[in-house]
Amino acid sequence: MIALSLAQITHVLGGRLHTAGDDTDETVVSGTVDTDSRLIGPGDIFVAKPGEETDGHLFVDAAVASGAALAIVEREVPASVSQIVVADAVAALADLAREVVGTVRGAGALRIVGITGSNGKTTTKNLVARILEAEGETVAPRASFNNAVGAPLTMLRVTEGSRYLVSEFGASAPGEIARLAGLVEPDLGVVLMVGMAHAGGFGGIEATFAAKSELVRALRTGGTAVLNIDDPRVAAMAPIAAERGVDVMWFGRGPDAQVRADDVAVTASGTRCIVSVGGESLPMHLQVLGEHHVMNALAAIAVAVRLGVPLAACVERLESVELAERWRMQPLGSDRVRIINDAYNASPDSMAAALRTLAQITGPGERTVAVLGAMSELGEYADEEHDRVGLLAVRLGIQRIVVIGAPARRMFLEAMAQGSWDNEAIFFETADEAFDYLVGELRDGDRVLVKSSNSAGLRFLGDRLGESFS
């Protein structure tokens, strides 16, 4: 974080300062801000956030022992550290992030990129960061830090030397993206797609469209909306951009895309295509598995090109990315039995993309095995969407369909209804049962996809399988 005095921080947060030791109003702090006491180091700022399972105020002493210089709390605690008491610790995070980013932007050349979409946010964020970090100091989220706590924590890592801030904006309800993006008013806003992810929380696909379009509405006047021309709902955000006085830069595979991919070919070693921007075309080989990641790469290139990075540099840096993120199309195992662990998140769109990738990368004499768990946050759409996945797995000719957990059972039932009667589809209540079956069932030449939402916990099953067949 940038250097600020205790008095300045107190003013920004509208709190009450209680100094400790030799501290005064003018004492300056500039360390990292975090809500996890285990990540606190000397000079850092600990935010005691009440949680559903525990209370950050119980860990102030641990933060102090690790060297915390300041605690932001909702009630004063008996600890030997200066404290600022606020009404709401999460709101205080947002207020401090707005102040820090605004100060750095006002003093220098900080450019801010916001990314949202029903799928692909984290991968795209990582690809954008990989391109931009060679241009200057770039701040981007760890993992999927995209909510009311994670997004401000990322923003607070900005320093006076930061040139780019890449923010990922997720949401489980309307208004969240507007609040988060409104803290920084991005210069560029990427909308990847509008799908069924979180549809249960939003109340349907049209409500999801409205939520994702909040990023376009939050862009700084004169900025750029980077939109997926192949998704009709994303393309429909162009009039919103015009109302806000921002340009549109289109990416996609259609002929009207300003950043376009042609001749896409998917293999077990990645995806090849020809990328075209402004009359220039170059071949690109993405090591990240999955045809759907081409769109994420195009979005990243669009951002970087708009920021002045040459296309050749974009392609070179993207080709060096071996893994977008742990548990996202992560290759494990060996050439003998390849495990693809993609069980960090799942939606109907990402599930379909992963299954298609499995079918595309499996060659003659090899066998496709899909290990599937539930997709969360679909609400009233859960039954029909799980049915669709079971149907798609059969239509794609997946040779073994292993479904795990009661919430995902409809995938198994639909696969059975479509004719998978001869052990092609099998159901297990637990991941441990499925593991025991798979260890005995998998054979040389198998290509195995493990796919589910985070809540199903199958990412750990994927890790176990990867170790077993390494």
Using one digit for the tens of pLDDT, what is the confidence trace for 20-62? Answer: 999 999 999 999 999 999 999 999 999 999 987 789 999 999 9
Closest to 114 in 3D by CA, of 15, 275, 274, 223:
223
Range 263-290 burial, b when 16+ CB lie within 10 A, else e: eeebebebbbbebbbeeeeeebebbbbb
Question: Which of 114-128, 186-200, 287-301, 441-455 comes out lowest in average pLDDT?
Answer: 186-200
SS3 139: strand
Going edge to edge, which strands form the sheet with 247-252? 138-139, 164-168, 111-116, 188-191, 224-228, 247-252, 259-267, 270-277, 280-286
pLDDT at 170 over 90: no
Average pLDDT over residues 212-219: 96
Domain residue spans of the chain: 4-87, 93-319, 330-468
Answer yes or no: is 122 a known binding residue: yes
Task: Tell me the mean pLDDT in the region 154-179.
Answer: 92
Once rounded to an integer, what is the mean pLDDT over residues 203-225? 91
Q: What's the pLDDT band for 329 if we cut at 50, 70, 90?
A: confident
Q: Is 118 annotated as a binding residue?
A: yes
Reported confidence tier of residue 421, pLDDT bands at 50, 70, 90: low
β-strands 270-277, 70-73 pairing: unpaired
Mean pLDDT, residues 291-319 taken together: 97
Residue 119, burial from CB neighbour count under 10 angstroms (0-12, 13-18, 19+):
buried
Average confidence (pLDDT) over 102-120: 93
Which tens digits make up the pLDDT trace of 372-419? 999 988 888 899 999 999 999 999 999 999 999 999 999 999 999 987
In CATH, which of 3.90.79.10, 3.50.30.20, 3.40.50.720, 3.90.190.20 is domain 330-468? 3.90.190.20
Tell me whether residue 146 is annotated as binding. Answer: no
What's the confidence (pLDDT) of residue 200? 58
Report the pLDDT value the prediction gives residue 54, as an integer from 0 to 100: 85
pLDDT for 201 beyond 90:
no
Give the pLDDT confidence score for residue 203 in this predicted structure. Answer: 64
pLDDT, tens only, 61-83: 999 999 999 999 999 999 999 99
Question: Is 121 one of the annotated binding-site residues?
Answer: yes
pLDDT at 342: 92
The residues near 136 (Cβ < 8 Å, ≥ 6 apart) are 162, 163, 164
Indicate whether 422 pLDDT > 90.
no
Section 445-456 average pLDDT: 94
Mean pLDDT of all residues in the chain?
93
By three-state DSSP, how is residue 2 classified?
Answer: coil
**117 in a labelled binding site:** yes
**How far apart (Å, rounded) are the C-alpha atoms in residues 45 and 60?**
10
The pLDDT, as a whole number, for residue 206 is: 87
CATH of 93-319, one of 3.40.1190.10, 3.10.580.10, 3.30.1490.20, 3.40.50.720: 3.40.1190.10
- The pLDDT score that the predictor gives to residue 378 is 87
Task: Over range 90-112, report the average pLDDT.
Answer: 95
Instruction: Please tell me the predicted confidence (pLDDT) of residue 65.
Output: 96
Contacts with 119 (C-beta within 8 Å, 6 or more apart), sequence order: 192, 193, 195, 197, 292, 345, 347, 349, 350, 353
In the chain, what is the greatest distance between 2 CA atoms, to the nearest angstrom? 75
Most confident option among 11-25, 201-215, 322-336? 11-25
CATH architecture label of 4-87: 3-Layer(aba) Sandwich (3.40)
Q: How far is CA 148 from CA 151, 234, 293, 402, 429, in A?
A: 6, 24, 26, 36, 34
* Residue 32 is labelled as binding a ligand: no
pLDDT at 242 over 70: yes
Q: What is the pLDDT of residue 267?
A: 86
pLDDT over 70 percentage in the chain:
98
Spatial neighbors of 106 by CB under 8 A, at least 6 apart, are none
Average pLDDT of the segment spanning 228-233: 96
